[in-house]
């Protein structure tokens, strides 16, 4: 390495920058690189060795040359425009480059280089880190289960659309992909909603695709046949609970709360016995356990309290079993009572029979619904004809000695 040069005053210089040796009060020697005046103030940078100072000077000279060559490529009009812009920004503390980036983010077109897969990855990382959801109606962070669900759906799209530029995923392109998957209406719309969340994030004011359209906005899923929810009769519910009592007593609390308080299966996997208040006759579903992210209080009817007092759940553990354990149990129940196990049947039973006794407003509140629309669409006709059955439903009690084998009697063919 060549030795540093000295100017006419004896000061060391490198690549046009002066280097001055200085002794600190501690006796240590340091080397100061004179960077010239910046915003009217002289700036210096300190290094421990002359070699480090010289290397820094060389990097500065290279950067200066690169910027200088780019400046010479500007037209006279561009240079005049830059001078005027700097005058406007004088005193604001904002550089010309920063002003340009802010302006592009608000008014300019989005960058077209990002692929759909890269955009999905950035969105999932944002979901994991953000303290607040996109929707103001649902405060708080995204639950890990929600992040995983969205990530899995977007990963499925990325298998086909991953290399596609994010801006090239139009509503037509998205619909073609959804239709090609042979989805039923619900998964079709769930995947569309995941893409809608992705682009709602990307096209917001501070998003990477600000100012562009959301391809999932306004898309409607295929027409879906709306059948009445599948439910059990009070006698079939009794048979199920008798079987649980006789063979899986540790699951009694899970099924009793599901049938007689209507908590969602996922909520039951997050609620512990500490949420049961027998004095108030309520179950507190905390915000972090609720699907909607809002805390709610659910009434414990008298028969539910009887079940929980006779079969108290284990302290500190969630009421709900694992997915695998529940799947195994449901297979047992199918054989024991001779019936299939419809999806969310316990919650559907509760909604139907509770609505028959107490009306839609009270039932919607217990279920954690924001309105009675879903009850009106799916349960109104069923509930209006089941008041007598509802009375028997909420009178189901733990087994007595005489009724311990009732599930066996109900499961036998007539």
Q: 41 pairs with which residues across the strands?
A: 38
Whether 406 shows a pLDDT value over 80: the answer reads no
pLDDT of amino acid 408: 38
Region 24-42 average pLDDT: 77
Q: From residue 140, give the alpha-carbon distance in Å to each of 132, 136, 196.
A: 5, 9, 19
pLDDT of amino acid 409: 34
Whether 407 shows a pLDDT value over 50: the answer reads no
Whether 82 shows a pLDDT value over 60: the answer reads yes
- pLDDT band (50, 70, 90) for residue 92: confident
Predicted confidence (pLDDT) per residue in 253-303, tens digit: 999 999 999 999 889 999 999 999 999 999 999 988 888 778 999 999 999
Whether 15 shows a pLDDT value over 60: the answer reads yes
Rounded to whole angstroms, the Cα distance separating 327 from 323 reads 6
The SS3 call for residue 222 is: coil
pLDDT of amino acid 110: 45
The residue ranking higher by pLDDT, 28 or 117, is: 117
Number of Cβ atoms within 10 Å of the Cβ of 56 = 19
Q: What ranges make up the beta strands (E) of 216-295?
A: 276-277, 282-285
Q: Which CATH entry fits the domain spanning 234-411: 1.10.443.10, 3.30.470.20, 1.10.760.10, 3.30.420.40? A: 1.10.443.10
- pLDDT band (50, 70, 90) for residue 138: low
Structure-token pair, residue 190: 């769930």
The residue ranking higher by pLDDT, 305 or 212, is: 305
* Lowest-confidence pick of 38-47, 79-88, 212-221: 38-47
CA angle centred on 255, ends 228 and 314, rounded to 5°: 155
pLDDT of amino acid 299: 94
pLDDT of amino acid 410: 37
* Domain layout of the chain by residue ranges: 5-72, 76-107, 116-202, 234-411
* Lowest-confidence pick of 3-17, 310-324, 364-378: 3-17
Rounded to whole angstroms, the Cα distance separating 20 from 271 reads 68
- pLDDT band (50, 70, 90) for residue 384: low
pLDDT of amino acid 7: 46
**166-199: b (≥16 Cβ within 10 Å) or e:** bbebebeebbebbeeeebeeeebbebbbbbbbbb
């Amino acid at each position: 390495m060549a030795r540093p040069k000295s100017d006419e005053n004896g000061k060391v210089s490198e690549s046009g920058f002066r280097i001055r040796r200085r002794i600190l009060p501690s006796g240590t020697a340091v080397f100061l690189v004179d960077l010239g005046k910046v915003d009217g103030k002289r700036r210096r940078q300190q290094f421990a060795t002359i070699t480090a100072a010289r290397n820094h000077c060389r990097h500065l000279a290279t950067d200066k040359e690169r910027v200088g060559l780019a400046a010479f490529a500007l037209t006279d009009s561009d240079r005049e425009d830059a001078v005027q812009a700097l005058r406007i920004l004088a005193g604001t503390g904002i550089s010309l480059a920063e002003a340009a980036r802010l302006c592009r983010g608000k008014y300019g077109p989005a960058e077209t280089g990002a692929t759909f897969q890269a955009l999905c990855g950035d969105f999932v990382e944002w979901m994991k880190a953000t303290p607040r959801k996109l929707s103001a109606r649902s405060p708080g962070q995204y639950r890990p289960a929600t992040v995983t669900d969205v990530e899995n759906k977007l990963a499925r799209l990325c298998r086909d659309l991953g290399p596609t530029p994010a801006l090239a995923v139009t509503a037509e392109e998205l619909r073609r992909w959804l239709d090609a998957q042979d989805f039923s209406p619900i998964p079709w719309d769930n995947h569309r909603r995941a893409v809608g969340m992705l682009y709602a994030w990307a096209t917001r004011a501070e998003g990477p695709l600000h100012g562009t359209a959301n391809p999932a906005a306004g898309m409607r899923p295929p027409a879906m046949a709306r059948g009445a929810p599948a439910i059990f009769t009070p006698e079939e519910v009794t048979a199920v609970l008798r079987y649980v009592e006789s063979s899986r007593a540790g699951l009694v609390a899970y099924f009793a709360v599901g049938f007689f308080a209507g908590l969602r299966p996922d909520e039951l996997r997050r609620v512990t016995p500490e949420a049961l208040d027998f004095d108030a006759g309520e179950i507190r579903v905390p915000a972090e356990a609720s699907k909607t992210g809002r805390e709610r209080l659910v009434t414990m009817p008298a028969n539910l309290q009887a079940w929980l007092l006779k079969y108290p759940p284990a302290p500190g553990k969630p009421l709900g079993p694992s997915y695998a354990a529940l799947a195994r149990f449901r297979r047992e129940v199918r054989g024991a009572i001779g019936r299939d196990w419809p999806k969310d049947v316990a919650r559907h039973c509760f909604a139907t029979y509770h609505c028959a006794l107490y009306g839609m407003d009270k039932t919607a509140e217990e279920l954690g619904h924001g309105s009675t629309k879903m009850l009106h669409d799916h349960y109104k006709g069923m509930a209006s004809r089941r008041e007598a059955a509802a009375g028997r439903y909420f009178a189901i009690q733990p087994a007595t000695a005489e009724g311990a084998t009732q599930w066996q009697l109900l499961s036998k063919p007539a």
